[in-house]
Structure 1
Amino acid sequence: MSYFSRFSPFRAIRDLRFFLSQRQRHELIFFFISLGITTALLAGFYVDSRVERVYKREIQYFDSWSLDRTDAQIVAKQAVDKVERDKRIAARKAREAERQAAFKRLDDSMTRWGL
């Protein structure tokens, strides 16, 4: 603990003032400019890191079926649902293909750069 007894905030401030008094004017100007730029970058990253999530309600609906449905009604409903399901699957595959194409373009551009 005797090692830490030599540390004092007042000594640190006095030492910093002595160090800065020995610097030339242009060195101090560049020091404060670099300090300001660094502070601005860190503050920008801090402010940008706060992202609020958009609240999106997910409502799931279900069909209420009567117990006395016929097989023909069931098959008809499945045919309607199949069309809707095929549309959703096609839309998802289109999104996936578009995303793959974007990654392919990125990969090709990185290959051209030699990465």
Structure 2
Amino acid sequence: MNFLRYISPLRAWRDMRTYIVTRRPHQLGFMGLALALTYVMVVGVIYESKIPPKPYHRDIIYVQQWRADRTDAEIIAQQKIDGVEQTRQANELKRLEAERRAQFKKVNDGLKAYGI
């Protein structure tokens, strides 16, 4: 109990005030900035901890099972049918890639305007 008699809020306030008064203005600015950033990070962590996690969704991939006794003609016929779909998917992918390239080009041109 002897230790507790030296602790008082008034002494703590005086000590803090003395510390702040003896600091230079730029040190106080950096101290305020450090306190603000620390506060933002702590509040951010608390906020993020309250967000529920995304629910798990299964990513099921279905595959076709082929008979082992198929003839070459059946295989070629199926490849022709599948070739149309593959061509369509490839064209769609090329279109999406071209759109993405155009987006990046727009950003790059904007940065070049600033000299970056």
Using the TM superposition, give the Cα deviation of residue 64 of structure 1 relative to its aligned residue in structure 2, in angstroms: 1.9
- Give the match for residue 60 of structure 2: 59
Q: What are the superposed Cα offsets for residues 43-83 of structure 1, whole Å, 9 maximum, x if unpaired? A: 46544698956644322222222232222211111111111
Alignment of 1:1-115 (within 5 A): 15-20=15-20, 22=21, 37-39=36-38, 41-43=40-42, 45-46=44-45, 47=47, 52=53, 55-115=56-116
Given the two structures, how large is their TM-score scaled by the length of structure 1? 0.59
- How far off is 1:42 after superposition? 2.3
Change (3 A) 1:44 1:75: farther
Q: Which runs of 5+ in 2 are unaligned?
A: 1-6, 23-28
Give the TM-score of the pair, scaled to structure 2. Answer: 0.58
**Distance (whole Å) between structure 1 residues aligned to residue 84 and residue 93 of structure 2:** 14
Paired positions, count: 97
Q: Structure 1 counterpart of 2:62, which letter? A: Y
